[in-house]
Structure 1
Amino acid sequence: MCDQCDSGTLGRRGLLMGGLALSLAVPFGGRAFAQTTATPPASPDEAIQRLMDGNARYVANTPNNADHSVTRNTRAAGQSPFAAIVACADSRVVPELIFDQAPGDLFVVRVAGNFLSEDGIASLEFAAAVLGVQAVMVLGHTSCGAIRATIDSIRDNELPPGHLPSLVNAIRPAVYNAMQQNPEDLLAAATAENAVYNARIAAETGPILSDMNESGTVKSIAGVYDIATGKVAFL
Protein backbone atom coordinates (compact mmCIF):
# COMPACT_ATOMS: atom_id res chain seq x y z
CA MET A 1 0.00 0.00 0.00
CA CYS A 2 1.25 3.49 -0.77
CA ASP A 3 2.68 5.04 2.41
CA GLN A 4 2.06 8.51 0.98
CA CYS A 5 -1.69 8.23 0.81
CA ASP A 6 -4.68 6.42 2.24
CA SER A 7 -8.12 7.30 0.89
CA GLY A 8 -6.86 10.68 -0.22
CA THR A 9 -5.09 11.55 3.02
CA LEU A 10 -1.39 12.07 3.57
CA GLY A 11 0.57 9.20 5.07
CA ARG A 12 3.04 9.41 7.90
CA ARG A 13 5.96 10.40 5.65
CA GLY A 14 3.91 13.09 3.92
CA LEU A 15 2.83 14.57 7.21
CA LEU A 16 6.38 14.44 8.52
CA MET A 17 7.89 16.20 5.52
CA GLY A 18 5.07 18.74 5.37
CA GLY A 19 5.49 19.57 9.05
CA LEU A 20 9.26 19.66 8.63
CA ALA A 21 9.05 22.13 5.77
CA LEU A 22 6.72 24.34 7.79
CA SER A 23 8.90 24.20 10.90
CA LEU A 24 11.98 25.12 8.88
CA ALA A 25 10.21 27.84 6.94
CA VAL A 26 8.86 29.79 9.91
CA PRO A 27 12.20 30.92 11.41
CA PHE A 28 13.41 31.88 7.95
CA GLY A 29 10.47 34.15 7.26
CA GLY A 30 8.08 31.66 5.70
CA ARG A 31 8.30 29.70 2.51
CA ALA A 32 9.25 32.04 -0.29
CA PHE A 33 8.38 31.31 -3.90
CA ALA A 34 10.10 33.05 -6.75
CA GLN A 35 8.13 35.12 -9.18
CA THR A 36 9.52 33.58 -12.34
CA THR A 37 8.37 32.78 -15.85
CA ALA A 38 10.21 29.45 -15.85
CA THR A 39 8.04 26.35 -15.49
CA PRO A 40 9.15 24.22 -12.52
CA PRO A 41 10.52 20.79 -13.48
CA ALA A 42 7.98 17.99 -13.23
CA SER A 43 10.49 15.61 -11.62
CA PRO A 44 14.07 15.35 -10.38
CA ASP A 45 15.05 13.74 -13.68
CA GLU A 46 13.62 16.72 -15.55
CA ALA A 47 15.55 19.07 -13.25
CA ILE A 48 18.77 17.21 -14.06
CA GLN A 49 17.96 17.33 -17.76
CA ARG A 50 17.51 21.08 -17.45
CA LEU A 51 21.04 21.31 -16.04
CA MET A 52 22.40 19.16 -18.88
CA ASP A 53 20.63 21.23 -21.53
CA GLY A 54 21.87 24.44 -19.96
CA ASN A 55 25.45 23.20 -19.96
CA ALA A 56 25.13 22.26 -23.63
CA ARG A 57 24.04 25.83 -24.40
CA TYR A 58 26.97 27.20 -22.38
CA VAL A 59 29.46 25.04 -24.29
CA ALA A 60 27.93 26.11 -27.61
CA ASN A 61 27.96 29.76 -26.49
CA THR A 62 24.22 30.07 -27.13
CA PRO A 63 22.91 31.04 -23.68
CA ASN A 64 19.27 31.79 -22.94
CA ASN A 65 20.11 33.88 -19.88
CA ALA A 66 22.00 36.98 -20.93
CA ASP A 67 19.88 39.79 -19.48
CA HIS A 68 19.78 39.37 -15.69
CA SER A 69 17.85 42.58 -15.14
CA VAL A 70 14.62 41.26 -16.70
CA THR A 71 13.20 39.65 -13.55
CA ARG A 72 15.14 41.62 -10.93
CA ASN A 73 12.06 43.22 -9.38
CA THR A 74 10.06 40.00 -9.25
CA ARG A 75 12.98 38.10 -7.68
CA ALA A 76 12.72 40.40 -4.68
CA ALA A 77 9.44 38.65 -3.81
CA GLY A 78 11.11 35.30 -3.09
CA GLN A 79 12.98 32.35 -4.49
CA SER A 80 12.13 28.89 -5.77
CA PRO A 81 15.29 27.29 -7.19
CA PHE A 82 14.85 23.95 -8.96
CA ALA A 83 18.35 22.57 -8.18
CA ALA A 84 21.10 22.92 -5.60
CA ILE A 85 24.75 22.91 -6.65
CA VAL A 86 27.57 22.11 -4.24
CA ALA A 87 30.47 23.80 -6.01
CA CYS A 88 34.09 24.65 -5.37
CA ALA A 89 34.90 28.23 -4.40
CA ASP A 90 37.32 28.40 -7.36
CA SER A 91 36.79 31.73 -9.15
CA ARG A 92 36.55 29.95 -12.51
CA VAL A 93 33.55 27.88 -11.44
CA VAL A 94 30.30 29.84 -11.79
CA PRO A 95 27.28 27.46 -11.69
CA GLU A 96 24.76 29.95 -13.09
CA LEU A 97 26.96 30.41 -16.17
CA ILE A 98 28.00 26.77 -16.48
CA PHE A 99 24.38 25.61 -16.52
CA ASP A 100 22.97 28.72 -18.23
CA GLN A 101 20.45 29.47 -15.49
CA ALA A 102 19.03 32.79 -14.36
CA PRO A 103 19.47 34.22 -10.87
CA GLY A 104 17.01 32.45 -8.60
CA ASP A 105 17.14 29.13 -10.48
CA LEU A 106 20.02 27.55 -8.55
CA PHE A 107 20.73 27.30 -4.83
CA VAL A 108 24.54 27.28 -4.64
CA VAL A 109 26.68 26.05 -1.74
CA ARG A 110 30.37 26.81 -2.27
CA VAL A 111 33.54 25.79 -0.45
CA ALA A 112 37.05 25.04 -1.67
CA GLY A 113 37.01 21.36 -2.60
CA ASN A 114 33.20 21.11 -2.98
CA PHE A 115 32.73 18.87 0.05
CA LEU A 116 29.82 18.75 2.47
CA SER A 117 30.32 19.84 6.06
CA GLU A 118 27.55 20.05 8.65
CA ASP A 119 26.81 23.60 7.50
CA GLY A 120 26.62 22.51 3.88
CA ILE A 121 24.27 19.67 4.73
CA ALA A 122 22.05 22.06 6.68
CA SER A 123 22.00 24.38 3.68
CA LEU A 124 20.88 21.53 1.42
CA GLU A 125 18.21 20.53 3.92
CA PHE A 126 16.84 24.06 3.76
CA ALA A 127 17.01 24.06 -0.04
CA ALA A 128 15.18 20.74 -0.30
CA ALA A 129 12.62 20.90 2.52
CA VAL A 130 11.78 24.61 2.33
CA LEU A 131 12.66 25.88 -1.13
CA GLY A 132 11.72 22.71 -2.96
CA VAL A 133 14.81 21.95 -5.04
CA GLN A 134 14.44 18.65 -6.88
CA ALA A 135 18.06 17.92 -7.74
CA VAL A 136 21.33 18.21 -5.85
CA MET A 137 24.58 18.17 -7.82
CA VAL A 138 28.03 18.03 -6.27
CA LEU A 139 30.23 19.67 -8.90
CA GLY A 140 33.96 19.06 -8.99
CA HIS A 141 36.24 20.66 -11.56
CA THR A 142 39.53 20.12 -13.33
CA SER A 143 42.77 21.53 -11.89
CA CYS A 144 41.26 21.78 -8.39
CA GLY A 145 43.80 23.28 -6.00
CA ALA A 146 42.09 21.86 -2.92
CA ILE A 147 42.25 18.32 -4.30
CA ARG A 148 45.86 18.79 -5.36
CA ALA A 149 46.78 20.14 -1.92
CA THR A 150 45.21 17.10 -0.29
CA ILE A 151 47.16 14.73 -2.54
CA ASP A 152 50.39 16.59 -1.75
CA SER A 153 49.61 16.50 1.97
CA ILE A 154 49.11 12.73 1.89
CA ARG A 155 52.24 12.10 -0.16
CA ASP A 156 54.40 14.42 1.98
CA ASN A 157 52.76 13.27 5.22
CA GLU A 158 52.48 16.91 6.25
CA LEU A 159 49.51 19.18 6.88
CA PRO A 160 49.38 22.71 5.38
CA PRO A 161 49.45 25.75 7.69
CA GLY A 162 46.63 27.80 9.18
CA HIS A 163 43.09 26.47 8.88
CA LEU A 164 43.81 24.61 5.64
CA PRO A 165 43.97 21.20 7.40
CA SER A 166 40.19 21.36 7.79
CA LEU A 167 39.88 21.28 3.98
CA VAL A 168 42.48 18.55 3.58
CA ASN A 169 40.92 16.34 6.23
CA ALA A 170 37.48 16.67 4.63
CA ILE A 171 38.78 15.73 1.17
CA ARG A 172 41.20 13.02 2.35
CA PRO A 173 38.68 10.08 2.32
CA ALA A 174 37.90 10.58 -1.36
CA VAL A 175 41.60 10.81 -2.27
CA TYR A 176 42.32 7.58 -0.40
CA ASN A 177 39.47 5.90 -2.29
CA ALA A 178 40.93 7.09 -5.59
CA MET A 179 44.44 5.95 -4.62
CA GLN A 180 43.19 2.39 -4.15
CA GLN A 181 42.37 2.28 -7.87
CA ASN A 182 45.98 3.20 -8.76
CA PRO A 183 44.82 5.60 -11.52
CA GLU A 184 47.12 7.04 -14.16
CA ASP A 185 45.89 10.56 -13.33
CA LEU A 186 45.35 10.71 -9.58
CA LEU A 187 44.17 14.32 -9.60
CA ALA A 188 41.41 13.58 -12.13
CA ALA A 189 40.40 10.38 -10.37
CA ALA A 190 40.35 12.02 -6.94
CA THR A 191 38.32 14.94 -8.29
CA ALA A 192 35.66 12.58 -9.65
CA GLU A 193 35.71 10.41 -6.51
CA ASN A 194 35.34 13.48 -4.27
CA ALA A 195 32.24 14.58 -6.19
CA VAL A 196 30.71 11.08 -6.06
CA TYR A 197 31.63 10.64 -2.38
CA ASN A 198 29.90 13.87 -1.40
CA ALA A 199 26.88 13.24 -3.63
CA ARG A 200 26.47 10.02 -1.67
CA ILE A 201 26.58 12.04 1.56
CA ALA A 202 23.89 14.33 0.15
CA ALA A 203 21.72 11.32 -0.66
CA GLU A 204 22.22 9.34 2.54
CA THR A 205 22.40 11.88 5.37
CA GLY A 206 19.28 11.63 7.50
CA PRO A 207 16.70 12.39 8.32
CA ILE A 208 15.75 15.04 5.77
CA LEU A 209 17.93 14.41 2.73
CA SER A 210 17.89 10.62 3.00
CA ASP A 211 14.08 10.56 3.26
CA MET A 212 13.62 12.89 0.31
CA ASN A 213 16.08 10.94 -1.87
CA GLU A 214 14.49 7.65 -0.89
CA SER A 215 11.01 8.89 -1.72
CA GLY A 216 12.14 10.28 -5.08
CA THR A 217 11.38 13.89 -4.19
CA VAL A 218 15.06 14.79 -4.65
CA LYS A 219 17.85 13.14 -6.62
CA SER A 220 21.52 13.66 -5.72
CA ILE A 221 24.16 13.32 -8.44
CA ALA A 222 27.80 14.20 -9.12
CA GLY A 223 29.59 15.91 -11.96
CA VAL A 224 32.98 17.29 -12.99
CA TYR A 225 33.35 20.57 -14.85
CA ASP A 226 36.15 20.80 -17.42
CA ILE A 227 37.40 24.38 -17.20
CA ALA A 228 39.09 24.19 -20.62
CA THR A 229 36.05 22.99 -22.59
CA GLY A 230 33.16 24.16 -20.42
CA LYS A 231 31.63 20.70 -20.44
CA VAL A 232 30.22 18.99 -17.35
CA ALA A 233 30.63 15.23 -17.17
CA PHE A 234 27.62 13.85 -15.31
CA LEU A 235 28.85 10.94 -13.20
Structure 2
Amino acid sequence: MKHFMERRDFLKLGMTGAFGMILSASDLLWRVEQAKAADIPSTSAESLSPDAALQKLIEGNQRFVDHHPQYPDQSELRLHEVAQAQHPFATILSCADSRVPAEIVFDQGIGDIFDVRIAGNIATHEAIGSIEYAVVLLGSPLLMVMGHERCGAVTAAVQKESLPGDISTFVKAIKPALKKVKDQPGDAVENAVVANVQYQIERLQKSKLLSEQVQSGKLKIVGGRYDLDTGRVTIIT
Protein backbone atom coordinates (compact mmCIF):
# COMPACT_ATOMS: atom_id res chain seq x y z
CA MET A 1 0.00 0.00 0.00
CA LYS A 2 2.85 2.34 0.84
CA HIS A 3 4.45 1.53 -2.51
CA PHE A 4 1.13 2.19 -4.27
CA MET A 5 0.72 5.57 -2.54
CA GLU A 6 4.24 6.62 -3.43
CA ARG A 7 3.69 5.63 -7.05
CA ARG A 8 0.38 7.50 -7.20
CA ASP A 9 1.97 10.63 -5.71
CA PHE A 10 4.80 10.36 -8.20
CA LEU A 11 2.39 10.09 -11.14
CA LYS A 12 0.38 13.04 -9.79
CA LEU A 13 3.55 15.08 -9.51
CA GLY A 14 4.52 14.11 -13.03
CA MET A 15 1.15 15.08 -14.46
CA THR A 16 1.22 18.39 -12.59
CA GLY A 17 4.68 19.10 -13.91
CA ALA A 18 3.70 18.21 -17.46
CA PHE A 19 0.62 20.42 -17.25
CA GLY A 20 2.79 23.26 -15.98
CA MET A 21 5.16 22.77 -18.89
CA ILE A 22 2.24 22.93 -21.32
CA LEU A 23 1.07 26.19 -19.78
CA SER A 24 4.59 27.57 -19.83
CA ALA A 25 4.99 26.61 -23.48
CA SER A 26 1.66 28.26 -24.37
CA ASP A 27 2.62 31.38 -22.46
CA LEU A 28 5.98 31.46 -24.20
CA LEU A 29 4.34 31.06 -27.61
CA TRP A 30 1.96 33.94 -26.82
CA ARG A 31 4.86 36.15 -25.74
CA VAL A 32 6.73 35.33 -28.95
CA GLU A 33 3.67 36.27 -31.04
CA GLN A 34 3.31 39.52 -29.10
CA ALA A 35 6.98 40.31 -29.67
CA LYS A 36 6.56 39.69 -33.38
CA ALA A 37 3.51 41.96 -33.45
CA ALA A 38 5.47 44.71 -31.72
CA ASP A 39 8.18 44.48 -34.38
CA ILE A 40 5.73 45.03 -37.26
CA PRO A 41 5.83 48.72 -38.27
CA SER A 42 2.57 50.53 -37.53
CA THR A 43 0.84 52.46 -40.28
CA SER A 44 -1.97 54.97 -40.08
CA ALA A 45 -4.20 57.10 -42.23
CA GLU A 46 -1.49 59.76 -42.25
CA SER A 47 0.95 57.58 -44.20
CA LEU A 48 -1.29 55.61 -46.57
CA SER A 49 -3.00 56.50 -49.84
CA PRO A 50 -6.51 55.13 -50.45
CA ASP A 51 -5.15 52.43 -52.79
CA ALA A 52 -2.41 51.48 -50.33
CA ALA A 53 -4.98 51.24 -47.55
CA LEU A 54 -7.10 48.88 -49.65
CA GLN A 55 -4.06 46.76 -50.44
CA LYS A 56 -3.27 46.56 -46.74
CA LEU A 57 -6.74 45.19 -46.05
CA ILE A 58 -6.51 42.68 -48.91
CA GLU A 59 -3.13 41.42 -47.72
CA GLY A 60 -4.41 41.08 -44.16
CA ASN A 61 -7.43 39.10 -45.32
CA GLN A 62 -5.17 36.80 -47.33
CA ARG A 63 -3.17 36.08 -44.18
CA PHE A 64 -6.41 35.28 -42.36
CA VAL A 65 -7.56 32.94 -45.13
CA ASP A 66 -4.15 31.22 -45.18
CA HIS A 67 -4.19 30.90 -41.36
CA HIS A 68 -0.95 32.87 -41.07
CA PRO A 69 -2.00 35.98 -39.10
CA GLN A 70 0.62 38.46 -37.94
CA TYR A 71 -1.55 40.04 -35.22
CA PRO A 72 -0.19 43.54 -35.95
CA ASP A 73 -0.77 46.50 -33.66
CA GLN A 74 -1.88 44.39 -30.71
CA SER A 75 1.11 44.92 -28.44
CA GLU A 76 1.30 46.96 -25.24
CA LEU A 77 3.36 49.49 -27.17
CA ARG A 78 0.56 49.96 -29.69
CA LEU A 79 -1.98 50.31 -26.88
CA HIS A 80 -0.07 53.28 -25.48
CA GLU A 81 0.69 54.65 -28.94
CA VAL A 82 -2.98 55.24 -29.79
CA ALA A 83 -4.24 56.01 -26.29
CA GLN A 84 -4.44 59.76 -26.91
CA ALA A 85 -5.23 59.90 -30.64
CA GLN A 86 -6.48 57.64 -33.42
CA HIS A 87 -5.82 57.65 -37.15
CA PRO A 88 -7.45 54.50 -38.57
CA PHE A 89 -6.32 53.71 -42.10
CA ALA A 90 -9.70 52.15 -42.97
CA THR A 91 -13.34 52.66 -42.09
CA ILE A 92 -15.63 49.67 -42.51
CA LEU A 93 -19.42 49.65 -42.48
CA SER A 94 -20.22 46.01 -41.86
CA CYS A 95 -22.97 43.79 -40.54
CA ALA A 96 -23.25 43.30 -36.78
CA ASP A 97 -23.13 39.54 -37.37
CA SER A 98 -20.89 37.91 -34.74
CA ARG A 99 -19.07 35.94 -37.45
CA VAL A 100 -17.74 39.01 -39.25
CA PRO A 101 -15.31 40.85 -36.92
CA ALA A 102 -13.34 43.22 -39.16
CA GLU A 103 -10.07 43.32 -37.20
CA ILE A 104 -9.83 39.53 -37.22
CA VAL A 105 -10.81 38.82 -40.83
CA PHE A 106 -8.42 41.54 -42.04
CA ASP A 107 -5.70 40.66 -39.50
CA GLN A 108 -5.41 44.17 -38.11
CA GLY A 109 -5.11 45.62 -34.62
CA ILE A 110 -5.90 48.43 -32.23
CA GLY A 111 -6.46 51.78 -33.94
CA ASP A 112 -6.30 50.36 -37.48
CA ILE A 113 -9.98 50.11 -38.40
CA PHE A 114 -12.87 52.42 -37.54
CA ASP A 115 -15.75 49.95 -37.18
CA VAL A 116 -19.35 50.87 -37.86
CA ARG A 117 -21.41 47.71 -37.37
CA ILE A 118 -25.15 47.41 -37.83
CA ALA A 119 -27.39 44.57 -38.98
CA GLY A 120 -27.53 44.48 -42.77
CA ASN A 121 -24.60 46.94 -43.05
CA ILE A 122 -27.11 49.71 -43.74
CA ALA A 123 -26.22 53.38 -44.04
CA THR A 124 -28.51 54.94 -41.47
CA HIS A 125 -28.13 58.62 -40.59
CA GLU A 126 -26.22 57.64 -37.47
CA ALA A 127 -23.94 55.31 -39.42
CA ILE A 128 -23.26 57.98 -42.04
CA GLY A 129 -22.44 60.49 -39.32
CA SER A 130 -20.01 58.05 -37.74
CA ILE A 131 -18.34 57.45 -41.09
CA GLU A 132 -18.10 61.19 -41.81
CA TYR A 133 -16.38 61.59 -38.46
CA ALA A 134 -13.82 58.89 -39.29
CA VAL A 135 -13.12 60.21 -42.79
CA VAL A 136 -13.19 63.98 -42.27
CA LEU A 137 -11.91 64.37 -38.72
CA LEU A 138 -9.70 61.30 -38.36
CA GLY A 139 -8.45 61.25 -41.95
CA SER A 140 -9.36 57.67 -42.84
CA PRO A 141 -8.50 57.27 -46.58
CA LEU A 142 -10.56 54.13 -47.25
CA LEU A 143 -14.23 53.31 -46.74
CA MET A 144 -15.51 49.79 -47.29
CA VAL A 145 -19.12 48.65 -47.11
CA MET A 146 -18.94 44.94 -46.38
CA GLY A 147 -21.84 42.54 -46.69
CA HIS A 148 -21.60 38.83 -46.11
CA GLU A 149 -22.83 35.48 -47.31
CA ARG A 150 -26.18 34.28 -45.93
CA CYS A 151 -26.89 37.59 -44.18
CA GLY A 152 -29.93 37.20 -41.93
CA ALA A 153 -31.09 40.78 -42.45
CA VAL A 154 -30.93 40.46 -46.23
CA THR A 155 -32.61 37.06 -46.11
CA ALA A 156 -35.48 38.52 -44.08
CA ALA A 157 -35.89 41.30 -46.64
CA VAL A 158 -35.93 38.84 -49.55
CA GLN A 159 -38.42 36.55 -47.86
CA LYS A 160 -40.57 39.51 -46.79
CA GLU A 161 -40.71 38.27 -43.22
CA SER A 162 -42.84 40.05 -40.64
CA LEU A 163 -40.51 40.86 -37.76
CA PRO A 164 -41.29 42.19 -34.25
CA GLY A 165 -40.20 45.46 -32.71
CA ASP A 166 -37.48 47.54 -34.33
CA ILE A 167 -35.98 44.49 -36.04
CA SER A 168 -38.14 45.37 -39.02
CA THR A 169 -36.38 48.73 -39.47
CA PHE A 170 -33.22 47.35 -41.04
CA VAL A 171 -35.28 45.10 -43.33
CA LYS A 172 -37.07 48.23 -44.55
CA ALA A 173 -33.69 49.88 -45.21
CA ILE A 174 -32.61 46.95 -47.41
CA LYS A 175 -35.76 46.61 -49.52
CA PRO A 176 -34.90 49.37 -52.06
CA ALA A 177 -31.82 47.36 -53.07
CA LEU A 178 -33.97 44.36 -54.01
CA LYS A 179 -35.64 46.19 -56.88
CA LYS A 180 -32.43 46.04 -58.90
CA VAL A 181 -32.17 42.26 -58.73
CA LYS A 182 -35.78 41.09 -58.60
CA ASP A 183 -35.55 39.59 -62.12
CA GLN A 184 -31.91 38.55 -61.90
CA PRO A 185 -31.23 34.80 -62.26
CA GLY A 186 -29.42 32.87 -59.55
CA ASP A 187 -29.70 32.76 -55.79
CA ALA A 188 -32.02 35.56 -54.65
CA VAL A 189 -30.32 36.11 -51.28
CA GLU A 190 -26.82 36.14 -52.74
CA ASN A 191 -27.87 38.60 -55.43
CA ALA A 192 -29.48 40.77 -52.77
CA VAL A 193 -26.35 40.74 -50.58
CA VAL A 194 -24.30 42.26 -53.41
CA ALA A 195 -27.08 44.65 -54.44
CA ASN A 196 -27.46 45.85 -50.87
CA VAL A 197 -23.74 46.68 -50.63
CA GLN A 198 -23.99 48.69 -53.84
CA TYR A 199 -27.16 50.44 -52.68
CA GLN A 200 -25.65 51.45 -49.34
CA ILE A 201 -22.60 52.83 -51.17
CA GLU A 202 -24.94 54.94 -53.28
CA ARG A 203 -26.47 56.33 -50.10
CA LEU A 204 -23.04 57.16 -48.72
CA GLN A 205 -22.03 58.90 -51.92
CA LYS A 206 -24.87 61.36 -51.38
CA SER A 207 -23.06 62.68 -48.32
CA LYS A 208 -21.55 66.03 -49.21
CA LEU A 209 -18.66 65.54 -46.81
CA LEU A 210 -17.77 62.12 -48.19
CA SER A 211 -18.18 63.12 -51.85
CA GLU A 212 -15.83 66.06 -51.33
CA GLN A 213 -13.18 63.70 -49.95
CA VAL A 214 -13.63 61.35 -52.90
CA GLN A 215 -13.35 64.17 -55.44
CA SER A 216 -10.18 65.45 -53.80
CA GLY A 217 -8.60 61.99 -54.01
CA LYS A 218 -8.36 61.64 -50.24
CA LEU A 219 -10.98 58.89 -50.00
CA LYS A 220 -11.78 55.69 -51.85
CA ILE A 221 -15.13 53.90 -51.37
CA VAL A 222 -15.37 50.20 -52.17
CA GLY A 223 -17.72 47.31 -51.53
CA GLY A 224 -16.82 43.95 -50.09
CA ARG A 225 -18.50 40.57 -49.73
CA TYR A 226 -17.35 38.26 -46.92
CA ASP A 227 -17.56 34.49 -47.44
CA LEU A 228 -18.54 32.77 -44.20
CA ASP A 229 -17.19 29.43 -45.41
CA THR A 230 -13.72 30.50 -46.54
CA GLY A 231 -13.12 33.78 -44.69
CA ARG A 232 -12.27 35.54 -47.95
CA VAL A 233 -13.40 39.07 -48.75
CA THR A 234 -14.16 39.74 -52.42
CA ILE A 235 -14.15 43.32 -53.67
CA ILE A 236 -17.44 44.47 -55.18
CA THR A 237 -17.30 47.17 -57.84
Q: TM-score, structure 1 length as denominator?
A: 0.78
Tell me the C-alpha RMSD between the 2 structures. 1.6
2:146 is paired with a residue whose SS is strand
Q: Which whole-Å CA distance do the structure 2 matches of 1:180 and 1:132 have between them?
A: 40
2:157 is paired with a residue whose SS is helix
1:160 is paired with a residue whose SS is coil
Contact between 1:137 and 1:222, CA under 8 Å: does it hold in 2? yes
1:216 is paired with a residue whose SS is coil
Superposition deviation, residue 75 in structure 1:
2.3
Over 3 Å counting, the alpha-carbon distance change for 1:227 and 1:81 in structure 2 is same
Q: Where in structure 1 are there 5+ consecutive unaligned residues?
A: 1-35
Matched AA of 1:148:
T
1:228 is paired with a residue whose SS is coil
1:125 and 2:132 are equivalent in the alignment: yes
Percent identity between the two aligned chains: 40
Greater mean alpha carbon deviation, residues 142-151 or residues 57-66? 57-66
Q: How does 1:164-183 map to 2 (within 5 A)?
A: 164-181=167-184, 183=185
Superposition deviation, residue 180 in structure 1:
3.3
Q: Which whole-Å CA distance do the structure 2 matches of 1:46 and 1:98 have between them?
A: 18
Superposition deviation, residue 67 in structure 1:
7.4
Q: Which whole-Å CA distance do the structure 1 matches of 2:73 and 2:173 have between them?
A: 38
Superposition deviation, residue 160 in structure 1:
1.7
- C-alpha offsets along residues 21-75 of structure 1, whole Å, 9 cap, x if unaligned? xxxxxxxxxxxxxxx9423343111111111111101101111116724322222
The structure that is helix-richer by fraction is: 2
Q: Which whole-Å CA distance do the structure 1 matches of 2:48 and 2:166 have between them?
A: 42
Aligned position for 1:44: 50
Aligned position for 2:115: 108
1:76 and 2:83 are equivalent in the alignment: yes
Aligned position for 1:28: none
Superposition deviation, residue 77 in structure 1:
1.8
Aligned position for 1:95: 102
Aligned position for 2:220: 219
Question: For 1:63, which of 59, 64, 69 is the aligned residue?
Answer: 69
Matched AA of 1:165:
S
Contact between 1:125 and 1:208, CA under 8 Å: does it hold in 2? yes
1:54 and 2:41 are equivalent in the alignment: no
1:125 is paired with a residue whose SS is helix
Contact between 1:200 and 1:220, CA under 8 Å: does it hold in 2? no
Matched AA of 2:42:
A
Q: Which whole-Å CA distance do the structure 2 matches of 1:180 and 1:199 have between them?
A: 22
Q: Which has the larger radius of gyration?
A: 2
Contact between 1:142 and 1:225, CA under 8 Å: does it hold in 2? yes
Q: Which whole-Å CA distance do the structure 1 matches of 2:81 and 2:142 have between them?
A: 24
Superposition deviation, residue 127 in structure 1:
0.3
Q: TM-score, structure 2 length as denominator?
A: 0.78
Q: Which whole-Å CA distance do the structure 2 matches of 1:39 and 1:47 have between them?
A: 9
Aligned position for 1:184: 186
- C-alpha offsets along residues 100-131 of structure 1, whole Å, 9 cap, x if unaligned? 11111000100000010000110011001111
